[in-house]
Chains A and B, each alone.
Chain A
Amino acid sequence: MISQACIQINNLTKRYFASKEDSLKQVSLNINAGEKFGILGPNGAGKTTLISILCGIIQSTGGSVKYFEQGKEVSLKTFRKKTGFVPQEYAFYQELTPNQNLEYFGALYNLSKKEINSRTEKLLSLLGLSKVSDKKVQTFSGGMKRRINLAIGIIHKPTILFLDEPTVGVDVQSKNAIIGFLNELNKEGTTIIYTSHHISEAEEFCNYIALLDHGKLIACDSLTNLLNLHESSGLKSLFINLTGEDYRDNV
């Protein structure tokens, strides 16, 4: 079966205000429906910039992004209704409980009260947060907060889910729970677009990889093809081979 492209990126360029260099340089790639698509790269490679443009948070300075639903091009506004976003930051209200957060964000996704209640119950149960559903999030551990962040991003059952470093700063248990849950979502048909610094996690989770460095796309293919093409034993050695061992300190 040939997968349909859901996002088509052509010569995408981004230069931030007052910056002398492009953060993204002529990036072109396709993301197909149903993939677990990993965008990887060292610090400052342009991962967050790329995912932010795809979500519509920031605008590109050049090139184009086309969105498709069942083979038909749609506007970003239409596309947004079907997408979920889990940012790096804890993008919710720590003063509220998980229930209150999910009710609010669910309503903004136009869900009914009934849908919100059933989805909230299910999601909190799957993510192991049922017992703390009425406790303020500010008292939670980092791993619990990451899971709430994820639950909010998928309350409306998105068909495409963007995740920016979803497991950063969490323990192994929470990381496994999050990755396991994302695998389940993908099996149900959700396309997952994901950035991470954890190469081994990406290798285990993703079936398609785009590797960025200094704003340029340096490799993009299925994981198997990439490893075969570069004769690498694993993603970590491939990553080092292609990006080098120099520090990427941005000032």
Chain B
Amino acid sequence: MFKLWASIKKEFYLLLSDKVGLVLMFVMPLLLVFVITIIQDSAFKLVNENKISIIIVNQDNGNQGEKLVELLEGSGLFEIEEDNNIPSEKVKDELLNRDKLIALYISSDFSLKLNEKAGQISSLMMEDLGLKETSEDNKDIKLPSLTFYHDPVLQENYCYSLINIFYSFLDAVENSLMIEKFYLEMGFEKVPEKLKEKIISNKVNIIQIPATSSGSDVLPNSTQHNVPAWTIFAMFFMVVSLGNNIVKERINGSFIRLKTMPTNFFLILVSKMIIYLIVAILQVALIFSVGVFLFPFINLPQLVLPSNIVAFGTVVLICGLSAVSYALMIGSIAKTQEQANGFGAVSIIIFAALGGIWVPVFVMPEYMQFISNFSPLHWCLEGFYVLFLKGGYWAELYKIILPLFIFIVCCQLITYLKLRVEKII
């Protein structure tokens, strides 16, 4: 037991002396978690929480343009700055100068053309109903155009969403106008207010429910993705420190001395695994603490810890063991420290990209989603998703633990065989 204790102490001292390794394992992931979460959260808020800043230039000579602006204002989606003195050729410049995301230009003939079109449709309806004589005047009246300007940083799908919002409000304006024309044709003076309101507010309600098997209403946010994702990345990045540690021992003669001593080499490997597993647990404790305690102070969503603590511990342990086993394997295969550093770091970055650490797997093409199954980081992240979003149900966790267990066994087996070939074990 004293041998194991001395071995663990030695590994601890070696770890303390590896300043670069410590920075890579603790400081780098903290920075990544902060930076990426802040960036993603602002994008998330831009789309989901903040009002969209818009300049509206209403040059309409009638009142339909004004109606559209009122509807947009009433939606609560936009922060509107109306400036009707901007000429059409200057709208683009003003959008950029005033730091707005979008601008809407309503042309002077907007009401005129809408009225003409609505009049034509209501006349056709009257004719169809036999309430009016058929007219020969069936000329095609073009609908007016709105001009939509946007900041080039806005994603295309986001722009389409905004255009669809405008279409939705334009529909309300057009419908209201058509009913008005129809009523006038019928001989009424005006449309009842009640009906006007109904036309505007007549929308089918869509209920939004997150599909969690536990029934939890916790929605994934930037914190719940980034905190576990970059913690897993940090865990696997221990390949630089541990891989280096093993290569150094193999090439500096320490292993040769150990071969002449009455000791089992497994003891050395076990002590390394224990120390680096503790490192992995500390990484989780540190990064998750930042998510829980520090994020709310910098206006980021607080990390809500999973309720199933046993499942949480299991996922942390299995992820830690996967990272340690991978680092052991790289350390035993690499011939030089440069190889361990280079291959180890690059492989983790590729695994991270494939595994959905940077971009969620579901947005990847189908073949990439298949390839992501070969990244251990993908399974680790899935494990945390099960904890955070699906209540940490064991039935779901087993599906994650099994592939990670196979990964651990493979890495340990390769390590054993490599050291055996080198006659170290």
Residue B259 is within 8 A (CB to CB) of chain A in the complex: yes
Residue B253 is within 8 A (CB to CB) of chain A in the complex: yes
Q: Given that A93-B254, A152-B257 are known contacts, is A110 also in contact with B262, CB under 8 Å in the complex? A: yes
User: Quick one: which of A101-144 are within 8 Å of B by CB?
Assistant: 103-110, 112-113, 136
Contacts of A171 in B (CB 8 A): none
Contacts of A112 in B (CB 8 A): 2
A85 and B14 contact, CB distance less than 8 A: no
Q: Given that A92-B254, A107-B7 are known contacts, is A57 also in contact with B260, CB under 8 Å in the complex? A: yes
B9 and A103 contact, CB distance less than 8 A: yes
Residue A77 is within 8 A (CB to CB) of chain B in the complex: yes
Q: Given that A95-B14, A100-B13 are known contacts, is A89 also in contact with B2, CB under 8 Å in the complex? A: no
B260 and A80 contact, CB distance less than 8 A: yes
Residue A220 is within 8 A (CB to CB) of chain B in the complex: no
> Which residue of chain B has its CB nearest to the CB of A82?
B262
B254 and A107 contact, CB distance less than 8 A: no
Contacts of B18 in A (CB 8 A): 95
A95 and B262 contact, CB distance less than 8 A: no
Residue in A58, A92, A93, A112 with the greatest tally of chain B CB atoms within 10 Å = A93
B10 and A100 contact, CB distance less than 8 A: yes
**Chain A contact residues: over half helix, strand or loop, or mixed?**
loop
Contact of A55 among B10, B253, B260 (CB under 8 A): B260
- Binary contact readout A44-70 vs B (1 if CB under 8 angstroms, 0 otherwise): 000000000001111100000000000
B254 and A80 contact, CB distance less than 8 A: no
Query: Shortest Cβ distance from B4 into chain A, in angstroms?
Result: 9
Query: Shortest Cβ distance from A186 into chain B, in angstroms?
Result: 20
Query: Shortest Cβ distance from B418 into chain A, in angstroms?
Result: 15
Residue A90 is within 8 A (CB to CB) of chain B in the complex: yes
A108 and B3 contact, CB distance less than 8 A: yes
A93 and B262 contact, CB distance less than 8 A: no
Contacts of A91 in B (CB 8 A): 252-254, 256-257
Contacts of B10 in A (CB 8 A): 93, 96, 100, 104
Query: Shortest Cβ distance from A21 into chain B, in angstroms?
Result: 21
- Binary contact readout A149-166 vs B (1 if CB under 8 angstroms, 0 otherwise): 000110000000010000
Bound Cα distance A162, B274 (Å): 33
Bound Cα distance A113, B18 (Å): 26
B253 and A108 contact, CB distance less than 8 A: no
A108 and B261 contact, CB distance less than 8 A: yes
Residue B423 is within 8 A (CB to CB) of chain A in the complex: yes
Query: Shortest Cβ distance from B336 into chain A, in angstroms?
Result: 15
Contact of A90 among B5, B7, B253 (CB under 8 A): B253
Bound Cα distance A11, B408 (Å): 45
A58 and B253 contact, CB distance less than 8 A: no
Q: Given that A58-B423, A96-B14 are known contacts, is A109 also in contact with B259, CB under 8 Å in the complex? A: no
B262 and A87 contact, CB distance less than 8 A: no
Residue A230 is within 8 A (CB to CB) of chain B in the complex: no
Query: Shortest Cβ distance from A93 into chain B, in angstroms?
Result: 6
* 10 new A-B contacts at CB < 8 Å, known A91-B252, A103-B6, A113-B2: A56-B260, A57-B260, A77-B262, A80-B261, A89-B253, A95-B18, A103-B9, A107-B6, A108-B7, A110-B262
Interface pairs (20), CB distance under 8 Å: A57-B260, A59-B423, A85-B260, A85-B261, A87-B253, A87-B257, A90-B253, A91-B253, A92-B253, A93-B254, A95-B14, A100-B9, A103-B6, A104-B9, A104-B10, A105-B261, A106-B6, A107-B7, A110-B3, A112-B2
